[in-house]
Structure 1
Amino acid sequence: MRLRTLGLAAAAGIAAFLAAFVAVTELLVPYVAFSVFVGIPAGIVVGAVVAAFVLWRFETADAPRQRSLAVALSVFGGALVTAFVLAHFALGQGAVVSILAATLVGALAGIAAFGRERRAAVRSWMDRHRIASFLAVTYAFTWTVQGALAATGLEASWTHSILIGFGGFGPPVGAAVVVAATGGSLRQWVSQAFAWNIGARWWALAFGLPLVVLVVGSALFVALGGPIDLGSFASPAIYLFVLAWGIVWGGGQEELGWRGFMLPLLQERYSALSASLLVGVAWAAWHLPLLLNATTTHGGWGPSQQVLWLFTIVAGSILWTWMYNGTGGSVLAVAVFHAGINAMGLYHPADMDALLPGGVPDPWLNFLAELTGAVPLVALAVIVVVVYGRERLTNGDVPGAETVGLAPGTKQR
């Protein structure tokens, strides 16, 4: 047996031990007093199994799939160990953070190695399961970033916001991987983010509808007895900054994945309304780490407000589809609309001292603010379905796979 194979097996075993040890230990902290004593044997078992598998299959030619997995595990191990040493010893990061970051690096390296070894088979599978592949990469990227952020316990700050936004690049990363792997046109796919020539009407709607949602929602909030403070409005200059930030980093960056990839593929097979709801469910579930992290705004909400917000995302997906289909596939317009909706919170007249007495959210008033903001959004979605019909949600043709730079007509799973 070659010394190189022994080294790779050792690296894979050590990496698997570290990843399993941290995962088991951290997951059991709330339930087991000395979870480390469970994490250590669990890590040893996982590490030994992985090392043995690499030793067994790394140099075999009779089982190419298993050999490819052994190669991927060895690359994962080498990359994880290297990244951990750099993060922990060179950069001075904590052990848990270093292992989480190194696990992400190792996983990406291992996936890339497996892809190289099984390039034709992987590409063929991804071409048959484009949406499943997209969701797998999207969730893996975002949830890993969000998990690492939660593990650090970083409080609200600019660094916190930047990292949250970085995790939001999961959908475009997932779409880019699938488009590239299945022989699509990355240029055609990305061009949707620069489709600005959509007519003054659509730009007026993209910029103006968020204002309509704000006015109607605020009026409902006041009518239902919500406390207001008209002296706390932000400057319009701040709105422009928040809008620009939202387009590129605060929500708009997601749209090349959800609307610019998943939606047109689903519309090859389903009606625009059904496709919207499917995207909406995937989109809402993708946000779950934000709800579980107590350091985020969403994590501080009560369960009823969180559920209402997730429902609003699913309903709002119909409006996003309407704008995407109506503009002939302009991700730019949808990103502006998305960022505009997010930015409207700056101008809600609710009295923040009443919503957060002593820094602690008032459950009823926060739920009322969320509810009254959701009503106009859901009402607009219902109007769109009634006026345009469920099949297309527009008067024109709906964008399909060709808009993404992929061959049309493929039934997706």
Structure 2
Amino acid sequence: MKYEKIFLSITFLLTYFISIILLPKGFIGALTIIMVIPAFAAIISILMESRSLKVLLNPFTYKITLKGLIFAIAFPLIVIFLCGSSAYLTKQGVLSENISYIFLDSIKITLISLTLFIAGLFEEYGWRGYLLPRLLKRYSIKRTNFIMGIIWSLYYVPAFFILNMHFGLPKAVTYVVLQCAAIFALNYCFTYLYTMSPNVILPSIMHILWNNINIATLGYSYNNVSYGFIIGNVKIINGEGLLGLIFLSIFAIYAHRKFSNHPSLNI
């Protein structure tokens, strides 16, 4: 675990430092920098361990299965659709007046995301390309998934907290807990995808699709600005809000049961 600890130390120290220093000043670009840190930490850890550049390509060498590719693209779209439709049906949100424009914009964002998945790769190279397979060598898939969920949630805590502070401390704490719970549940989906194919390109696609389509269609959860298909309280309707947590948790339960078919997974 020596090099995994180095990876986590670099990731958390840099992430927390950048979050605390830059985000309070309104430097939103810090979020992009934070996404790069896991890949940077993974590369450093790999080179310290193996001193071989070739090893850096290992997460890309696995076969990309059609089933995995379909899941990576369809899953975020389905969950976000369920959040939006549920918000509308339960009157937690209303249809935007600019729905035709937003629809075309969402298609454009989807296509761009599929092409420029490199943005998701920066973060996923560290989590699913480096840490996940190493934990799977030591623990069962259920335990590994739980550990990954805790780590991934804690990774976002300072950013979530600082960006939500303008709502006031009590609401900020509530929103951080809500978003971290959603991230923990979302982690099940990424681990489930890994069982289909461990190629890091797939979670990179799913990650960037989730980020971009979620914001474009259901609003920006950090400042509670709703400008997508459905207009409403973003903390409720967003994929990382209450409705998102519900649907992600349902899938997490399903995935947890499926993991029983893979008590150990060392690819």
* Aligned twin of 1:386: 257
Q: 1:292 aligns with which of 144, 151, 161?
A: 161
How far 1:337 sits from its partner (Å)? 1.0
Sort the Cα spacing of 1:383 and 1:300 in 2 relative to 1 into closer, same or farther, 3 A. farther
| Residue pair 1:206, 1:337 contacting (<8 A) in 2 also | yes
| Residue pair 1:189, 1:260 contacting (<8 A) in 2 also | no
What is the correspondence of 1:116-155 to structure 2 with a 5 Å cutoff?
129-150=2-23, 153-154=25-26
| Residue pair 1:273, 1:390 contacting (<8 A) in 2 also | no
Matched, 1:192 2:59: yes
Matched, 1:377 2:243: no
Distance 1:239 1:136 in 2: 34
Q: 2:35 aligns with which of 168, 180, 202?
A: 168
Q: 1:323 aligns with which of 187, 193, 200?
A: 193
How far 1:185 sits from its partner (Å)? 4.2
Distance 1:312 1:150 in 2: 22
Sort the Cα spacing of 1:224 and 1:304 in 2 relative to 1 into closer, same or farther, 3 A. farther
Matched, 1:398 2:256: no
* Aligned twin of 1:368: 236
How far 1:323 sits from its partner (Å)? 1.0
Distance 1:300 1:193 in 2: 41
Write the letter of the residue equivalent to 1:146: S
* Aligned twin of 2:86: 220
The TM-score normalised by the length of structure 2 is 0.80
* Aligned twin of 2:128: 259
Deviation readout 1:351-386 (Å, 9 max, x if unpaired): x9xx659xxxx9x93332111122222211211222
Matched, 1:305 2:175: yes
Sort the Cα spacing of 1:169 and 1:382 in 2 relative to 1 into closer, same or farther, 3 A. same
- Count of aligned positions: 249
Deviation readout 1:319-370 (Å, 9 max, x if unpaired): 111212320x2110011111122122245367x9xx659xxxx9x9333211
* Higher relative contact order (CA closer than 8 Å, sequence separation 6+): 2
Structure 1 unmatched runs, 5+: 1-127, 400-413
Distance 1:392 1:255 in 2: 23
Write the letter of the residue equivalent to 1:365: N
Distance 2:9 2:140 in 1: 24
How far 1:300 sits from its partner (Å)? 5.0
Work out which of the two has the higher radius of gyration on C-alpha atoms and give 1 or 2. Answer: 1
Distance 1:192 1:167 in 2: 21
